[in-house]
Amino acid sequence: MTRSRSGCSPSRLDAIPFVVALASGEVVGWAALRPYSHRCAYRGVGDLSVYVAREARGKGVGGRLLAALEQRARARGIHKIVLFALSDNRTGRALYDKRGFCEVGVHREHGILDGRLRDVVVMEKIL
Ligand SMILES: CC(C)(COP(=O)(O)OP(=O)(O)OC[C@H]1O[C@@H](n2cnc3c(N)ncnc32)[C@H](O)[C@@H]1OP(=O)(O)O)[C@@H](O)C(=O)NCCC(=O)NCCS
């Protein structure tokens, strides 16, 4: 791990917290944190991604993945999780609301899906 002149490490996420959900020995979902920024000032912030296989959705897998990931993040000194979600992703939004994430704001015309610019909601949770 490299260190800046100020002596702080660039991220507490050099080893990325990553959890998977298994059903009958098969992976049916995963969640992970990437560093939010390479800058030292943001080294305690993780950027969330989560995915659950279609056939496994609506059974609490996403909620359990986030709970496990938050626990691992806390243990590594991560103090905050941020996420970026397409504004029409209602299932994702329901999951994040349930896990206590708060909306920070909306990036207008920020992501491209199916050739169209989409608004992206920014959410965060302080651990
Ligand atoms: C978003 C996603 C991870 C949710 O995973 P999941 O395992 O279905 O989530 P859970 O079963 O834990 O449900 C959590 C909450 O979401 C809501 N929810 C789940 N499925 C829903 C559905 N079909 N319709 C409406 N709300 C739903 C419910 O409020 C649920 O809590 P409850 O069942 O206790 O009421 C999953 O749908 C997914 O992988 N989607 C594609 C990838 C994606 O959008 N990732 C997020 C990118 S920002």
- In the predicted model, what is the mean pLDDT of the chain? 91
What's the rounded Cα separation, in Å, for the pair 45 and 103?
Answer: 16
pTM of the model: 0.90
How far, in Å, from the CA of 30 to the mean position of ligand 1?
13
Domains and CATH numbers, the chain: 18-126 (3.40.630.30)
Q: With pLDDT > 90 as the criterion, what percentage of the chain qualifies?
A: 83
Q: Which residues line ligand 1 (CB under 6 A)?
A: 50-52, 57-63, 85, 89, 91-92, 94-95, 98
Mean pLDDT of 34-58: 94
Q: Which two tokens stand for residue 116?
A: 């169209």
pLDDT above 50: residue 58: yes
pLDDT above 50: residue 66: yes
Q: What residue's CA is closest to ligand 1, atom 18?
A: 91
Question: Is-contact 50 96, C-beta < 8 A?
Answer: no
* CA-based nearest residue to 101, from 54, 52, 57, 48: 48
DSSP assigned state of 17:
-
pLDDT of residue 1: 46
Tens-place pLDDT, residues 68-97: 999 999 999 999 999 999 999 999 999 999
